[in-house]
């Protein structure tokens, strides 16, 4: 957040900008400052990273951010995968989460349906 106060993020001409989520960004003043800093860039070019809680996603969606990254998203992805996977009965949520997080090695080999693992499920958030 401090960085956004000090530099114009659009000056760098990048396709995306990663904003690191922190709970203290949720205050009204901070939200207004961040919205002001990101508006010239466009919220579709923002990735909100380190989203460890639902409140991060809620805050981001409210602001107009479309792209998210973080452990909360990983857990949601694993949960939705398990809900749709025919082999889900053999796994636990932490196992599925761990297997999602690797591209090779044992955790991936333990998965009963690698195709399902690689098929990124559609996640939906309630627009507030």
Partner 1 sequence: MTPPPPSPAAPVGATVLPGAAETQLVDYLTRLDRHRTDRRAVLIQLSGLQPINRREHHLRAASSPFAPLVNVQNAQAFNLTNADLMVVYKAAVQDAVEAAIVKLRFMFSDDPMILKEETSTLSFCTWYSLIEDYTEVMDLARGRLDEIMELQRRAKVRAEPAAPDKRSRGVPLTPDLLTKAEAALDQADLANLMRRQAVCALVGQSSPQPVFNELFISILELRQALMPQVNVASSPWLFQQLTETLDRRVLSLLNKHDDRTLESDISINLNVSTILSPEFQKFDDNVRPGTRGTIVLELQKIDIFADLGAYLFARDFARDRGYRICIDGLTYAMLPYVDRERLGADLIKLVWEPSLADEAGGQSQAIRRIGPSRIVLCRCDSPAAVDYGQSVGLSLFQGRHVEMLLQTDLRRRGKARPR
Which positions lie near partner 1, rule CB under 8 A? 2-3, 5-8, 11-12
**Residue 17 or 61 having the CB closest to partner 1:** 17
**Residue 4 or 80 having the CB closest to partner 1:** 4
CA distances for 48 relative to 79, 93, 121, angstroms: 21, 24, 19
Give me the least distance between CB of 14 and partner 1, in Å please. Answer: 12
**Residue 5 or 55 having the CB closest to partner 1:** 5
d(CA 57, CA 63): 10
**Residue 14 or 84 having the CB closest to partner 1:** 14
Q: Left if phi > 0, otherwise alpha if psi is -120 to 50, otherwise beta: which for 47?
A: beta
Give me the least distance between CB of 39 and partner 1, in Å please. Answer: 17
Give me the least distance between CB of 6 and partner 1, in Å please. Answer: 5
d(CA 81, CA 56): 21
Give me the least distance between CB of 71 and partner 1, in Å please. Answer: 24
């Amino acid at each position: 957040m401090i960085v956004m106060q000090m530099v114009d993020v659009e000056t760098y001409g990048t396709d995306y900008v990663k904003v690191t989520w922190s709970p203290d960004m949720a205050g009204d003043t901070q939200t207004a400052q961040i919205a002001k800093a990101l508006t010239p860039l466009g919220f579709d070019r923002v990735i909100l990273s380190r989203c460890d809680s639902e409140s991060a996603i809620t805050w981001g969606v409210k602001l107009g951010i479309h792209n998210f990254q973080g452990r909360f998203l990983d857990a949601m992805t694993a949960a939705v995968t398990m809900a749709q996977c025919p082999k889900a009965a053999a796994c636990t949520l932490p196992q599925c989460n761990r297997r999602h997080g690797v591209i090779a090695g044992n955790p991936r080999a333990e998965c009963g349906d690698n195709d399902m693992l690689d098929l990124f499920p559609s996640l939906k958030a309630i627009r507030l």
